[in-house]
Amino acid sequence: MRCPFCGSDNTSVKDSRAAEDDTAVRRRRVCESCGARFTTFERVQLREIMVVKRDSKRVPFDRERLARSITIALRKRPVDREQIDQMVSGILRKLESTGEQEVTSNDVGELAMDALKRVDPVGYVRFASVYRDFKDPSDFAQFIDKAALDDEDEDDAPGK
């Protein structure tokens, strides 16, 4: 692991433990060259998932890009970083559990919207406005009306 301070490859692990969300390993490292200490988080990746974009371009799934998008949707909302990390981990697990090596950007977007809908309704609408490419205020109203109807249908479902 390269030192983020001096760039040296001469670093060693001083402590290693599971991260708080149990989806990563937290390692405390020290640079033998400059003495700096830093932390890394390592995640197990079962296989590389490719995302097929709307223009048919294929790119590797980028966990950090998804986390950034969700973070932007939740800016100034009462949702902490740990909840966002759990959402992203859950989305990634669902993608991996399909067994498919390629998923569409639409699949990723829908999973993100489902997760946001359960966590924060304002973040859900914000994310949808970008993901669904709202053009004017009436798009927001239509989306919110449809979301409210969907919620009523879920509340009326058997077993509720």
The answer to whether 149 touches 138, Cβ cutoff 8 Å, is no
* Each residue's pLDDT tens digit, 32-83: 999 999 998 887 655 689 999 999 999 999 999 999 999 999 999 999 999 9
The pLDDT of residue 146 is 84
Domain ranges of the chain: 11-42, 50-152
* Each residue's pLDDT tens digit, 97-119: 888 899 999 999 999 999 999 99
Region 128-136 average pLDDT:
88
> Does 142 score more than 80 pLDDT?
yes
The pLDDT of residue 45 is 58
Separation of alpha carbons 105 and 109, rounded Å: 6
- Residue 97's closest CA among 58, 60, 46? 46
